[in-house]
Each structure stands twice: as C-alpha cells, then as structure tokens.
Amino acid sequence: MITRPLARWFDDRLRASSFAHHALNKVFPDDWSFMLGEIALYSFVILVLTGTFLTFFFTPSSKEIVYQGSYAPLRGTRMSEAYASVLKISFDVRGGLVFRQMHHWAANLFVAAIVIHLVRIFFTGAFRRPRELNWLIGVTLLALGIFNGFTGYSLPDDLLSGTGLRIAYSIALSIPVVGTWTAFLIFGGEFPSQDILRRLLITHIMIVPALLVALISAHLAILWRQKHTQFRGRGRTETNVVGSKLWPTYAAKSLGLFFGIAAVGGLLQINPIWLYGPFNPSTVTSPAQPDWYLGWVEGALRIFPPWEFRSFGHAVPNPFYPAVLLPGVTFLILYAWPFLERWATGDRAEHHLLDRARDHPARTAIGAGAFTFYVVLHFAASNDLLAKTFLVSVSAVTWAFRILVVTLPVLVGAITYAWLSAVHRSEAEGVLRVPLAAFVPVEPPPTDDEGEHVEPPPGHGLYDPRSTAP
Amino acid sequence: MNRPARDQRSFARAIGGAFALSAAASIGLTVVYALGGQPQIEGALIGASLGGLALGFVWWGTHLLPQGPFVEEREPLTSAPAERLAFTEDFTRLAQETPRRRFLGRMLLVAVGALAAAAVFPIRSLGPGPGRSLFRTAWRRGSKLVTEEGGPVAVGDLPVGGVVTVFAEASVGVADSQTILVRVDPASFRPLPGRETWSPQGYLAYSKICTHAGCPVGLYEQSTNSLFCPCHQSVFDVVDGAKPVAGPATRPLPQLPLEVGPDGLLRAQSDFTEPVGPGYWNEGS
Ligand code: FES
C-alpha cells in the first residue's frame, strides 16, 4: 500500500500525526437531527460542482436573438441570449439538463436543510452560550442562501424569473429615501436594464459563494473547537461528548449521506423553463410563484392590506412593509434571539446538554407561534390556486389568510404554552396526567433508534448527570 | 458490540453488491453519454450510481464499524487567567512604548476613515441616477398607438369589450410604455371629472404596469369591466379610472389621454400625467 509511505512523507514535513490522531478520534453524537447541518453542507458541495459545469455554457446577456436551437416549439421565437443558452444547456449540451436539475434541487435542499437545522437548534436551545457565534453565522448563511437562490432563479431569464426580478426591482424602489437610487444602482438603470444579468451572474457565482465558503469554514471551525451539543441521557454530561468516532464509523455514514443527497437530484424534473417561455416585460404567466424559500415573502405581499404611507409629496409604498420591513424584522429577531433570551432568563451559564422542547415552555411556545406565522404566509402565496381549487373568490381566501396570520400564531403559541407547562408540572409530580402526554418521552431518552446502550466503558468514570447536575 | 460473524459476512456481501451496482450504473452512464446522451436515462443512472455508493457507505458505517458509544471529555473553552494576562500584556506593548499615542490613534482613525469613504465612490459608477426617468415614458403628444406587431390601431379596430396591449409608435416593447387599451360601451360609464375628453368612443387606455409591484396587468374580464394582475391578485375597475378594488394595490393605474386623429387612428394627447408603475419615495414631486 502506498498510504503508509505517503503519510510518513507528509508527517516528516508537517508533524501532523498528533493532530490527525485527535481528529480521527473526535466523537460525534449519533442523533439523526444532527445530520441536518451536514445535509446543508453537502448540498453546498453539490451546488458548487454542478454550478461550475453550468457556468461554462451560460451567457449572461439580454441581447435579443432569434432562437434556432433544437427545441422545436420555440424555434423562431425572439429571446435573450441568456434564455437561449439555458435552452442549449437543457437540450443540446450532453448531460446539461441533468446538471441543471441537480443544481436546482440542491439549491432547494440547501435552504430547506438550513431552515430545519435552525428550527432544531432553536427548540433545543443549542444557540446558548458558548454557541451564540455559530448562531449568528448560521443565520447569515440562511440569508445568503435565500439571496443566492433568488439570484440563481433569476438567471435563466425565462418568463417566471423575469417577473421575479420585476418585483424585486419594485421592492428596491419602495425603500424610503434611498429606494430609487438603490434600484438604479443595483439594476444599472430603469428596469429592464442591459446590465442586470451579468451582475446577477457575478453575484451568484463569485461574491455570494465566496462569502458562503468563508462562513461555512468558520462555522465548522467553531463547531470543531466547541464540540457538539448532545441530548440528555445516561452517561452524557456537560463535560463530555458521547457518540461515534469520526474515523471510521461517522465518516462512512456521512459519506453515505453525501451520495444519497446527490442521488436525489438526478431523478426529478424541476423548473422546466422551456415551458415558461422567454421573458417579455408585457406578459406574465399565471400563476407566478417563486421557489419555496421566498414563499413567505410572496404570501406577505399578497395578503398585506392596501395600505401605504403618504404625506408631503412623499410615499412609503405598499411593498415596503411586507417585502422589506417583514424580512428585515425577521432576521433582526433571529440575530438577536440568543441575547434576548439571555436577557429574559438571566441564564449566562455554558450549556452543552440540550433542552427538550418542554423544558422551556415559553421558548417553545414563541417558536411554535412564529413558525406558524411563516407557514401561514407560505400558504398565502397560493391564494389564487386555493381559490380555484375550492371555488371561492380570491378576495375571500385573502381575507381568510389575513385573519389566520394574526390569530393562528397566537393560538398555537398559547396552546403550546399551556400544554407544555402542564406536562412540565405533572412530570415534576411524577405522574403524567396530561392529554396527549404519550407524545412526549417521559424519561430523558437513554437510547437512540439503533437501540444502542450507553454503558459506561470500564475505566471511564462516568456518572449519572442527574445526580450531579446543579 | 460485535455482531455474529455470519451476520457480518452477509452485510459485507450486501455492501459489495451496492458498490457493484454503483459501478455498473456508472459504466452504463458512460455508455449512454458516449452514444449521445438521454436526460431521463442519465438521471436514473446517476441516481443509481450515487445511490449505490450511499447505501454501501451507510451499511458499512452502521453494521460493520465499531458502534461505540465512545466518550470524549470537553476541555474548558475559556483561557486560564495567566494566559489571558500574558496576551493583554503583549497587546498593550504598542500603547506603552508610543509617545502621544492618543493623538496618533486619532489621526490613524481619520486616515482610515477617509480612505473608507473614498472607497465608497466607485459604487456610483454602477448606474445612472434616477433623475426624472421614472416620471416619463415614451408617450408624447400625438404618438400613434401601435400593437406589439407594430400596426397602428384605427378607431374601428376594436369591438366593445375588446382589449389589446399597445405601445407608443417607435417604442414597441419598451417596458415603461406598455399600455392596455380597452373598449367599453361609451353609454355605460361616466368619465372621471377632468378626463371627459380622454376616452373617445369608449376607448380607455391605462398603463399596463401594476401600481403594486410592477407586473403587467394582463387579464381583462368584460363582465365586470375589471383588470386583474396575476402576481398578487390586485383588481382594477376599468370604468372607474382603474381604481383598485381588491388586492394589495393602492393607486389607480394611470390613464393615457386619447384622441382620434384626422386619419382615424388612435393617438395619445400627451404622456401619462402621473408616474406609471409601483410607488417610490418622491413620486409625488
Ligand atoms: S404586482 Fe400587481 S398585484 Fe402585485
């Protein structure tokens, strides 16, 4: 085998053995919910690989040409060079369509995994000291992921993406005081401008990916330094980590996950831009919807009442509130959450053991309410489709959503709070006399689904956390 | 936690099988590709080749490799006081050995701040200033109304209830000039005060750019005389100055004053009298 001499060669020059030894023995907890961040990471790797391939064939130009390629239904149509190049990728470049679909799937999965990862981190309290830094980085990654998803969605210059850009331009325009300048500087003039596709491409393939790489690296380095959190369970304490070793068990599972994620993308069709047709500023398809991760903004745009602020010849137009203010406040609260909670609870201690949702009824209730809010907005983005399906008027559906978006989160939050507090109390009394209590594990889960037992290995001096916990 | 050897052997066989499947799919992929490619088959084969690897690795990890649990102790994340002190001393060396350090510090701040401010200016190169461009469109006094194909619209061209997208002549396709021309029965509505001469023979022309977020307001429903925006479902009442009657839009669609020229062609009396499209901060000035 060549590996041994090779390893020696490097070690003679880098003195890497001790670090490598530590690294390979690093322990990773075995809970499935810890895979979510990994899924995001691997989606990113797939995005970079497939995206690089696509870059070789994409032309970021809005110059109008007449299509002569191999997709017959559009032959002879006037379209931008950008749209024509995406048709070429889909129909004329060998393997091109598969790469495009994998890229698009991975993008959707990337954001989805980040969102669910964030939800997991939130409800288990994993953002508490010492992990606030990684929370901040993670929230930034989410924002960048959504943003880059949108820039990528806009590149093909098909009818849907062009409509999305038109709306984005109008949203930029709606910002008080600096809106017109912002829109003109971003788009290089009044919509539709000649420059925007090139700018989107540079942003999409260089600026944001570079930021993502830097932040993901920092995220992982900090994780490495601070080690994973873990759920409560026998043998698990604030001062240890219990799980499998990086090498070989964890690495094998993790590689399996990577290939599993990559496999999904090849199989399913997504975003058949050739059916939408080229962008033309005076046509629009109906229904027009963005990719899922912008559904909540789209929903907010649809159901926000026709209000706006106007005085002394100045206006803060309607799209500003649902599409600038709401996302701004959303991310502000996300960023601030660890500090808000610390301020509210006064808890400044270090935490490596995770909470269960019911350990912290207030946090869980707020989280559940907030989550409901965004889910309702998400469905509101389909108000026209729902109206069609249920044969009611769009405005009735819109009104229903306007009411739901205010009431449902409060309701969900209140019910969650009451229920969890009851579970919490009765647990303290040692009896579970609460409706639906079967859905919460009574004991701290000592095993995971593999049925592994955490027996203290001999000589490890493990102790029961509950007997020593403060 | 070791499994019986027989179990292990059958897992090893399964894992080997998964890897073999993956290899076969990859070879198949190469062949399909060499023969000219076919997206569905390519997709399926990529799925199989990656999926085989995935299965193999997961089985290997969960069935053949040591399952632990292993325990690793955490080291404290905070530096020891002595380390902290040593670092503070290192760092403050700069200040201790510099005379007039407050003055130097301030000047350094000014220099760096000025450089940062100067570095912002290239942003200005990114685009032209908005100027008055948002207040103007391509419509002028006497502009002929032409359809997307470039033909003019004569007064008899559209039946009552008809609708067509028009542009100013010589500006076909220009986004901010797109206008929707509707013909309604002149007896069925009363023009808004001040607009009595704008709608000859029941022709009403409105900017086609939604005042909400700029989508083209493309759908006209004759029975209710409404224009629908497909993006967020705003509805505008054609015979009431295109006032929004539902959805998030707040402003009516601006109306283009029309006249019939001596040649029987529809023409604009002037540009729109207010900014078209979605609102912005200084739209009223
Ligand atoms: S763009 Fe027309 S309703 Fe939003």
Residue-wise pLDDT for B207-225, tens only, equals 999 999 999 998 899 889 9
Q: Are residues B153 and B243 part of one domain?
A: yes
Q: What is the DSSP string of A406-448?
A: HHHHHHHHHHHHHHHHHHHHHHHHT---STTGGGS-SS---S-
The answer, for B42 touching chain A at a CB cutoff of 8 Å, is: yes
Residues lining ligand 1, Cβ inside 6 A: B 210, 212-215, 229, 231-232, 234, 247-249
- B210 CA closest ligand 1 atom index: 2
CATH of region A29-291, choose from 3.10.129.10, 1.20.810.10, 3.30.70.270, 3.30.365.10: 1.20.810.10
A174–B contact, CB cutoff 8 A: yes
B192 touches chain A (CB under 8 A): no
Q: What percent of chain B has pLDDT over 70?
A: 99
- Closest CB to A301: pick one of B36, B134, B248: B248
Are residue B226 and residue B278 in the same domain, yes or no? yes
pLDDT digits (tens, 9 = 90+) for A184-239: 999 999 988 889 999 999 999 999 999 999 999 999 999 999 999 999 988 899 99
ipTM for the complex shown: 0.92
- Using a pLDDT cut of 70, give the percent of chain A over it: 89
Task: Determine, for residues B127 and A318 on separate chains, whether the beta-carbon distance falls below 8 Å.
Answer: no
CATH of the domain at B267: 2.102.10.10
From the alpha carbon of B248, which atom of ligand 1 is closest?
A: 3
What's the mean pLDDT when you consider all of chain B?
A: 92
Residue located via tokens 């939130």: A122
Cβ of residue B28 closer than 8 Å to a chain A Cβ: no
What number of residues does chain A have?
A: 470
Q: CB-based contact (8 Å) between A395 and chain B?
A: yes
Predicted pLDDT at A3? 85
Find out whether B26 and B78 touch, Cβ atoms under 8 Å.
Answer: no
Do B53 and B111 lie in a common domain? yes
Confirm if B207 and B270 have CB atoms less than 8 A apart: no
Chain A contact for B230, CB < 8 A? Answer: yes
Average pLDDT over residues B187-191: 88
Scan residues 67-126 of B and list those with Cβ closer than 8 Å to A: 67-74, 77, 123-124, 126
Range of the domain at B109: 5-68+76-124
Global confidence as pTM: 0.91
User: Do A249 and B66 contact (CB within 8 A), yes or no?
Assistant: yes
- Phi first, then psi, for residue B228 (nearest 5°) are -110, 140
Give the phi and the psi of residue A315 in degrees, each rounded to 5.
-135, 145
On the CB side of B143, how many CA atoms lie within 13 Å of its CA?
24
Domain ranges of chain A: 29-291
Both B117 and B139 in one domain: the answer is no
B94 and B167 in a single domain? The answer is no
Distance between A62 CA and the closest CA of chain B, angstroms: 14
Residue B104 has pLDDT above 80, yes or no: yes
Tell me: do B38 and B9 sit in the same domain: yes
Q: Ligand 1 pocket: which of B178, B212, B227 to mutate (most atoms <8 Å of CB)?
A: B212
Which of B3, B71, B234 best tests the A interface by mutation, with the highest count of A CBs <10 A? B71
Q: Same domain for B105 and B140?
A: no
Task: Name which of B176, B212, B181 is nearest A281 in CA terms.
Answer: B176
Do B91 and B20 fall within a single domain?
A: yes
- From B209, B215, B219, B245, give the residue whose CB has the most ligand 1 atoms within 8 Å, as the site to mutate: B215
Residue B32 to chain A, least CA–CA distance (Å): 10
pLDDT in tens, A122-162: 999 999 999 999 999 999 999 999 999 999 999 999 988 88
> Is residue B105 domain-shared with residue B187, that is, in the same domain?
no
* Tokens (6 digits) for B64: 């053949």
Report whether B272 contacts B219 (CB < 8 A). no
> Residue B205 gets which letter from DSSP?
E
CB A282 to CB B175 under 8 A?
A: yes
Closest-CA distance, A274 to chain B, in angstroms, reads 15
What gap in Å lies between CA A42 and CA A48, rounded to an integer?
A: 10
- State the total domains in chain B: 2
Residue B61 has pLDDT above 80, yes or no: yes
Higher pLDDT, A226 or A424: A226
Q: Are residues B15 and B106 in the same domain?
A: yes
- Whether residues B225 and B164 share a domain: the answer is yes
